Amino acid sequence: MIIPDPNATTAARIAEAIGKRIISGELQPEAPLRQDHVAREFNSSHVPVREAFRQLEAQHLVVAQPRRGVRVAPLDTKSLKEIAEMRAALEVVALRNAAPKLTSQHLARIERVLVEGDDAQTIEESEIANRAFHRALVAPCAMPRLLASLDGLQLANSRMVFAMARSAGWRPRSNQDHRLILQALRARNVEHACNLLARHIQTIERLTLPVSAAR
């Protein structure tokens, strides 16, 4: 019998709460995160706080530096390019492995979240649908480490999108790229779908570059 680690649930709860603050912009780039302050806020010991920080670091939302401690990850051109290049490479690998396993049920799920994105009325709804779309594309690859990495990169990408919305305002965005990717997958044209996905991610990078350049 496996005994669950009580610290694991607490760490996940702390990581989720702090992650939301970072993504929304409530916690600004380079803001310090003190273990004692976080432990006091969440009424926990330092053990789950350290684990929460590790989870946030894996999601590219915080950085741990010698003598500087844990800080909110920077939001700059270098970070943006790194996240976009990692996403483009890893998500294409995941899609290549997922595509042969896509069933009609998988494709219907992708269609549903695409429609949810079309119907989004707020930036929060739009980003939830966007993350769900990209997750649904690659979930059948059944590669848990790769999927976990992509989840973290998607959260870091959401942070860039929220920053862009704060800087330039938000308006509903066309999901035409998503539709083209889905069409290619329905036609079983995996190579075309992968090329469209890589181009789509690189387009998002170009859109958010002005935000990071201004910082």
Residues 67 and 100 in one domain: no
Rounded to whole angstroms, the Cα distance separating 102 from 122 reads 30
Each residue's pLDDT, cut to its tens digit, for the chain (215 residues) gives: 334 455 568 999 999 999 999 998 899 999 999 999 999 999 999 999 999 999 999 999 999 988 889 999 998 888 888 888 999 999 999 999 999 999 999 999 999 999 999 999 888 899 999 999 999 999 999 999 999 999 999 988 888 888 887 776 666 666 899 999 999 999 999 999 999 999 999 886 666 555 544 45
Whether 146 maps to a domain, the answer reads yes
Instruction: Answer yes or no: do 50 and 68 share one domain.
Output: yes
Whole-number pLDDT of residue 162: 87
Dihedral sign (CA 193, 194, 199, 201): positive
Predicted confidence (pLDDT) per residue in 37-81, tens digit = 999 999 999 999 999 999 999 999 999 988 889 999 998 888 888
On whether both 93 and 183 belong to a single domain, the answer is: yes
Q: Which of 72, 97, 125 is the last residue of a domain?
A: 72
How far is residue 92 from each of residues 30, 66, 81, 126, measured CA to CA in Å?
A: 31, 34, 16, 22
CA–CA distance, 50 with 65 (Å, rounded to integer): 14
Where on the phi/psi map is residue 188: left (φ > 0), alpha (ψ -120 to 50), or beta?
A: left
65 and 34, same domain (yes or no): yes
Identify the burial level of 32 via C-beta atoms within 10 angstroms of its C-beta, where 0-12 means exposed, 13-18 middle and 19 or more buried: exposed
Residue type, 140: P
Question: CA torsion sign, 15 to 110 to 169 to 85?
Answer: positive
Q: Domain containing 176: what range?
A: 77-213
Supply the CATH number for residue 94's domain.
1.20.120.530
Q: How many distinct structural domains can be found in the chain?
A: 2
